[in-house]
Amino acid sequence: MSDLEIIDIYENANKENSKKFVEGVDSSLRIQQETKKEIKDIEWIEKMEETIPYIDNILRSPNRFIVNEEEIVKIELARKITVDSIKHLSKNTNLIQSINKKTGDVRPSKILNINKEESYDTYENKLIYTLIQNMKLFIDRRKKTLEENINKENKNDKQLDYKALSETDSEKVEINVSLISSLNDQKQNSQEETKEILEKIEELEQKILDLSSSEVYKVIDKKHITLIREPIKKTNVILKNVNFQYAMKLWNYLRDNFEDQTKDIEEKQDYMEQGEKKKLFDETFMLQYLILKTLDQDEAETEGTRQEIKETILEQMVNNLVDMDTDMTQEELNSLIANKYEVIKYKKMEAIKEIQKIFKDHIEKYLNKIEKEELS
């Protein structure tokens, strides 16, 4: 039903009956709502994604130190004779095999051999290795929870029950309306959301796999080290290096949020509405009543009655607008009504033009037909 049709129904109604009907309305509106939704814990995904570039920086330029491996070897197996080797030999003359008295040459049987190697076996590198292990464990726990609850169904059910009775001198009118809404695609939406999260986790796992492919990670992984535990040593590198500062933020976040933060939110409401919703239903009740009265063919209104009905309708409209915005000025009200008048008038004029066009087309077709018959 269009706006114009509704206005016509109001205009053609009997004012006295309508007034008695409104005054006699006794109504109630009961609203029931039940919602159940799972708020998934996905903040950690963003936290890890933000930190991975900083962990990658650490692994690309890892902390390292020089390890000196000392061993006594046969002279022919010595790779390099250093100052430390000579000093050691002077203190351990039993390793000297012979001395040439003419030349002064000394021939040792064995000598100290020193191998210098870079090592990644630092506390900082072990800390980053442990962090990556914690990330993997954290992801496994969250994935398991998501996969177990993938078929969990959300719920959003609403029900409105409106009952009303109105009595005039000559009639009794009752209405019972029950509206029930239940969203059918809640389970599907929840599954799609879970699948999207799992896809993000797969991308995250691939990034962590790339970190695990670094040389530093592989070296430490082969050593089967004991993972670092709290409290963390506050070394200069950990405190001052920007990359480690971000890594430690993630470390603390994983520690504090290790338990799944997914929540099931359930809410039930059951109350009698007394505000705007009930008022709208009362107005709809009146409209339904006026539609019913159009079945009475004997009802007719004089021009004066029609004018009174217009004034009543206008008064109701103004009251509703003022109730919605008590700060509205008269100029704003006049502007709002004028704008709506122009829109409705335009719609009506366009409808009339369309009807005129249809009649014109049919008349032209008829005249053309007559003209052809006369010529034949």
Specify which residues 166 forms β-bridges with.
173
What pLDDT, on the 0 to 100 scale, is given for residue 35?
86
pLDDT-based confidence at 297, cuts 50/70/90? very low
Percent of the chain surpassing pLDDT 70: 70
Among the listed residues 303, 340, 302, 301, the one whose alpha carbon sits nearest the alpha carbon of residue 318: 340
Q: What is the DSSP string of 128-184?
A: HHHHHHHHHHHHHHHHHHHHHTTT---EEEEEEEEEEEEE-SS-EEEEEEEEEEE-T
* Higher pLDDT among residues 70 and 61, named by residue: 61
* Higher pLDDT among residues 342 and 218, named by residue: 218
Report the pLDDT averaged over residues 331-356.
67
Q: 161 with 30: CB under 8 angstroms?
A: yes
Q: Which three-class secondary structure string do you get for 304-350?
A: HHHHHHHHHHHHHHHHHHHHHCCCCCHHHHHHHHHHHHHHHHHHHHH
pLDDT-based confidence at 252, cuts 50/70/90? very high
Cα–chain center distance at 226:
39
Q: What is the DSSP string of 37-56?
A: EEE---HHHHHHHHHHHHHH
In angstroms, the CA 356 to CA 32 distance is 50
Query: Phi/psi at 264 (nearest 5 deg)?
Result: -100, 115
Name the least confident of 182-191, 223-232, 300-309: 300-309
Among the listed residues 69, 84, 57, 56, the one whose alpha carbon sits nearest the alpha carbon of residue 118: 69
Q: 37 with 154: CB under 8 angstroms?
A: yes
In angstroms, the CA 313 to CA 317 distance is 6
Q: 155 with 36: CB under 8 angstroms?
A: yes
Element (H, E) at 66: strand 65-74
Report the pLDDT averaged over residues 170-196.
80
Cα–chain center distance at 29:
33
In angstroms, the CA 182 to CA 202 distance is 34
Pairing of strands 65-74, 110-119: antiparallel
Q: Which of 83-92, 128-137, 311-320 has the highest mean pLDDT?
A: 128-137
pLDDT-based confidence at 140, cuts 50/70/90? very high
Give yes or no for residue 302 having a pLDDT over 70.
no
In angstroms, the CA 317 to CA 323 distance is 10
* Higher pLDDT among residues 91 and 76, named by residue: 91
For the chain, the residue count is 376
Element (H, E) at 270: strand 263-273
Radius of gyration of the chain (CA): 44
In angstroms, the CA 23 to CA 244 distance is 75
Q: What is the DSSP string of 173-223?
A: EEEEEEEEEE-TTHHHHHHHHHHHHHHHHHHHHHHHHHHHTSHHHHHHHHH
What pLDDT, on the 0 to 100 scale, is given for residue 207?
96
Report the pLDDT averaged over residues 114-136.
87
What pLDDT, on the 0 to 100 scale, is given for residue 210?
96
In angstroms, the CA 138 to CA 140 distance is 6
Specify which residues 39 forms β-bridges with.
263
Residues 6+ apart with CB under 8 A from 221: 129, 212
